[in-house]
Structure 1
Amino acid sequence: MITIYIYWISTALLSLLYVSSALLYLGKASFVRSAQAELGFSATFLVPFMVLIKLLAPTVILSRFNLALSDLAYAGILYHLLLSGLAQLSVGKPKGAIPAVLGLALLAVSFTTQNVAREMPSPYAPAAYAIN
Structure 2
Amino acid sequence: MPEYYAYWISTALLSALYLASATIYVIKRDWVRQALADLGYTASYLIPFMIVIKVLGPVAILSRVSVTLSDLAYAGIFFHLLLSALAHAGVRKPAGALPAAIGLALLVTSFMTQNDVRSVPSPYVQAAVR
1:3-41 CA-to-partner distances (Å, cap 9, x unmatched) read: 111100000000000000000000000000000011111
Following TM superposition, the consecutive aligned residue runs of length 4 or more in structure 1 with deviations greater than 3 angstroms are none
One-letter code of the match for 1:93? K
5 Å-filtered alignment, 1:1-132, equals 1-126=1-126
One-letter code of the match for 2:33? R
1:65 CA displacement: 0.3
One-letter code of the match for 1:120? V
Residue-pair matches, total = 127
The alignment partner of 1:44 has SS state of coil
1:98 CA displacement: 0.1
The answer to which structure has the higher helix fraction is 2
Percent identity between matched residues is 59
The alignment partner of 2:122 has SS state of coil
For 2:63 and 2:53, the matched residues in 1 are separated by 15
For 2:50 and 2:25, the matched residues in 1 are separated by 8
One-letter code of the match for 1:96? G
For 1:126 and 1:76, the matched residues in 2 are separated by 19
One-letter code of the match for 1:38? D
One-letter code of the match for 2:25? Y
Q: Could you tell me the TM-score, scaled by structure 2's length?
A: 0.95
One-letter code of the match for 1:14? L
Q: Could you tell me the TM-score, scaled by structure 1's length?
A: 0.94
Kindly report the root-mean-square deviation, in angstroms, between the aligned alpha carbons of the 2 structures.
0.9
Question: Which stretch shifts more, 49-58 or 33-42?
Answer: 33-42
Aligned to 1:130: none
For 1:27 and 1:41, the matched residues in 2 are separated by 19
Q: 5+ residue gaps in structure 1?
A: 128-132
